[in-house]
């Protein structure tokens, strides 16, 4: 009844790790969580206007059942930004900041943080 709808799971790996490998997790609580997520996803399959999106830095530990057709079956890799993109991100973040008026040397920063992810920057 709420369609169209986008259901977004950030850090999907925190609730969708491969089942059976969670030693000492309070009696299989993690497995029960992923089983319930899978059940709910299957229930939404018939609804054409519900889109489920997940984001993760660890696709290697996602339970394979969640990646099967009809669930999260399209994987899109988004790489770290290049130097030009990092400058644009920095300028956008500083746009309303007083430091932006001073004019920091944003052109030299990309090389210093070429392997940093977004959450570690701003």
List, for residues 76-100, the tens digit of each pLDDT value: 999 888 888 888 888 888 888 776 5
Within a domain: 51: yes
Query: What is the predicted pLDDT for the residue at 122?
Result: 47
In a domain, 78, yes or no: no
Q: What is the mean pLDDT of residues 54-59?
A: 92
Q: How far apart are CA 64 and CA 72, in angstroms?
A: 10
Segments forming the whole domain that contains residue 110: 83-120
What's this model's pTM, rounded to 2 decimal places?
A: 0.64
- Do you know the residue count of the chain? 122
CB-based contact 7:55 (threshold 8 Å): no
The DSSP result for 99-120, as a single string, is: HHHH---TTSHHHHTTT--GGG
Q: Is residue 19 part of a domain?
A: yes
The phi, psi pair for 21, rounded to 5°, reads: -105, 10
Residues 38 and 90 in one domain: no
Residues 15 and 53 in one domain: yes
Instruction: Based on the fold, state whether residues 19 and 61 are members of the same structural domain.
Output: yes
Residue 89 lies in a domain: yes
Q: What is the mean pLDDT of residues 33-60?
A: 84
């Amino acid at each position: 009844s709420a369609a169209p709808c986008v259901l977004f799971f950030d850090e999907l790996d925190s609730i969708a790790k491969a089942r059976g490998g969670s030693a000492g997790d309070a009696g299989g609580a993690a497995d029960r969580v992923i089983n319930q997520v899978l059940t709910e996803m299957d229930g939404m399959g018939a609804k054409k206007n519900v889109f489920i999106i997940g984001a993760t830095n660890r696709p290697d530990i996602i339970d394979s059942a969640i990646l099967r057709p009809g669930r999260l079956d399209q994987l899109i890799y988004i790489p770290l930004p290049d130097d030009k993109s990092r400058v644009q991100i920095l300028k956008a973040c500083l746009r309303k900041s007083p430091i932006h008026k001073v004019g920091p040397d944003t052109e030299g920063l990309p090389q210093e943080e070429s392997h940093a992810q977004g959450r570690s920057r701003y």
